Amino acid sequence: MDAPILVVEDDREIADLLCAYLERAGFATERAASVADALRLHSQQMPQLVLLDIGLVGGDGFDVLAGIRRRHDTPVIMVTAQDDEVTKLSGLRIGADDFVVKPFNPSEVVERVRAVLRRASGNMSRRVLHVGPVEVDLDARVVSCRCSDGTSLRLSLTPTEFEILAHMARHPRRAFSRAELLEAAAPDSEAYDRVIDSHLSKLRAKLLAAGCDDLIEPVRGMGYRLWPG
């Protein structure tokens, strides 16, 4: 079964309506009514698309969108009662893929979902990141290191180590704080951000053992960055 559509809406009647039309169109659905629940379900379910209301309990849809974009490129359609340029520009700047303005025709929303998924499918035909000698396959969740003799060696990483490396590989040379890396790798964790130091130490050791250069650099007073050379 395909991953669900996550409907983030605190108005139960609207959520019921959207889920009913989406399910009638053949989509599985999950729903959330708050910022915290939306981010938790996104991390657990990895939905194929998020329908995201702006006005929510515990914050707003922009908080959810920013949290999603820190760790994944899941397509997001913002649902808003505010049909103004400032709202749309803010959403686009953070990474929204489309907008639906209330009141809406639920059949049109389903067609918007299909259109965004078609675009995303075309854009995601290749989900492999290359940083120096390291290859990160996001779909297979496999990391390989290209050796000097032309062969490749697969690294045995923990889920947390994979998420850290994948997040950094999406933005090589960018300096990340420990808190950013912890949010990307374990968004529901209550651990202190210094735990990232232990994960990074093990990850760097595995890269070196595989024959890769020490690509992960500490950034004084900040955190770490992935530097391909």
Q: Same fold for the domain at 5-123 and the one at 128-226?
A: no
Model confidence pTM above 0.75: no
Query: Does 118 score more than 90 pLDDT?
Result: no
CA of 129: how far to CAs of 29, 120, 212, in Å?
30, 17, 16
Domain 5-123, what architecture? 3-Layer(aba) Sandwich (3.40)
> In the chain, pLDDT over 90 holds for what percent of residues?
37
- Each domain of the chain, given as residue ranges in start order, spans 5-123, 128-226
**pLDDT, tens digit, 9 for 90 and up, residues 177-190:** 988 888 877 765 55
Class level of CATH domain 128-226: mainly alpha
Residue 26, CB half-sphere, CA atoms under 13 Å: how many? 5
* Largest Cα span, the chain: 61
